[in-house]
Amino acid sequence: MNIFLNNNSGLRNAGKILLAVAACTVITQFAWAQSFPTNLSNIGSIANTRHNMSHSTLGSLATLHNNSRNNYDEVCVYCHTPHGANPTTTAPLWNRTIKVTNYETYNELGTTSLTQAVADTPGGASLACLSCHDGQTAMDSIINMPGSGMALQSQATTQDTAFLNTWTNLPPGALDTTLHRGINSTNGVLGNGTGSDGVGCMTCHSPDGLAAFGPGGLGISEGNDMRLFNIGTDLRNDHPVGVDYPTVNGPSTDWNSPAGVVGSSLYFDTNSNSRMDKAEIRTYEGKVECATCHDPHGVPSAGPGTVFKPTFLRVDNAAGSAVCLTCHVK
C-alpha cells in the first residue's frame, strides 16, 4: 500500500494513481480477511484464536497438527518465556527464534511518493511477527521449552532441529514428532517446505494444495487456505514496516497527529484517557511496525466478551477504512 505522499503537486498526482491501484488490492485483502472462516470463537482470550499454537481449543481437530510441531500444551510459550528470553529483540520476553534474514523492503520499489526513511531491517515489533509469518522458521522453534533445563540460547537466531526433537513431555494423544514445520512452501508442492520432510503449512493449506490434497484426501477445505498468513521475506508489496512516522504532521499535512506519547512512541489516544490502549494505533520508537495496527492477542470488537476484530486489528478497517484514516489524511 502506497503511503507518505509529499506535498509536491506532480508527485501527489502520481501518488493518487498508485494509491488507487494499491487500494483495490488492499480492499480485496481486507474483505477476504473480514470473512475468513475459522473453527475458533475469537472471544475472550488468545487461547481462542489462531495464535494458540497448542490448538487446545480445537478438540479432535488438533490431532491433525500434532505431527507438524511440538505440542507444548501451553498457549503463551510459543512466543513468550519468563526466563532466558531472546536477547536480540525488544519484543517482550520473546521466546521464538528470530533468524538473521535479509528482507526486501518497500523502499526498494523506488517510488517517488515515499518520503520517509525505511529501515533495512524491520524493528522488534515486526521481527517478532515475522519470526513466524515470514515462513522461514518452524512454528515450534523456541528457546525455552516448558520445564527445567529445556533451554538452548543459540535458538535465539538459529533453529536447532536436534534440540526441538528432545521434547518428549507430551500431553495425552500428542505425537512425538521430528517434523517442525513453518508456514512457507510453494503451494501444493512437496519438497521445499520448512519441515524436515520438505513440507510446510502451505504445501496443503493453499489453493494448489486444496486441489492436490483436498476433500477426499486430507480433508482440507476453503477455510484452511493460509495465504493471508504467509507474508514471506519480500515485504515490497506490504505496508512499510520500520518506516518513520512523519514528525511534521497535523493540519495542512497528509498525516494526522498522534496526541499520546509514551517515551519515544506515539499513539492515537482515541478515548482521551492518556493511556495506550489495545484498540489504539501506535508507533514503536517513532516507527510504523506490524504491531502498530495489529495486536496479536486480539482486540474485542465491542467491549469485553465480544468477538475480536478480524486479523488481530486494533481498529476495524471495515468501518470506513478506519485503520488507514487513523494516520492518513485523504
The mean pLDDT of the chain is 81
Number of neighbouring beta carbons within 10 Å of residue 17: 11
Number of neighbouring beta carbons within 10 Å of residue 52: 19
**pLDDT at 22 exceeding the cut of 80:** no
Give me the mean pLDDT over the 155-163 stretch: 94
Give me the mean pLDDT over the 168-181 stretch: 76
Please check whether residue 224 is in contact with residue 208, taking contact to mean a CB–CB distance below 8 angstroms. Answer: no
pLDDT in tens, 88-118: 999 999 999 999 989 999 999 998 888 899 9
**pLDDT at 76 exceeding the cut of 90:** yes
Give me the mean pLDDT over the 207-231 stretch: 64
| Whether the predicted model's global pTM rises above the 0.95 cut | no
Give me the mean pLDDT over the 211-215 stretch: 58
**pLDDT at 21 exceeding the cut of 70:** no
Q: Of all residues in the chain, what percent carry a pLDDT higher than 90?
A: 55
Give me the mean pLDDT over the 21-47 stretch: 59
Quote the CA–CA distance of 160 and 142 in Å, as a whole number. 9
Grid cell, residue 140, equals: 515450534
Q: What is the pLDDT of residue 173?
A: 67
Give me the mean pLDDT over the 125-134 stretch: 95
pLDDT in tens, 193-204: 555 667 788 777
pLDDT in tens, 226-247: 778 889 899 999 999 999 999 9
Residue with the bigger pLDDT between 131 and 66: it is 131
DSSP 288: E
**pLDDT at 139 exceeding the cut of 60:** yes
Number of neighbouring beta carbons within 10 Å of residue 208: 15
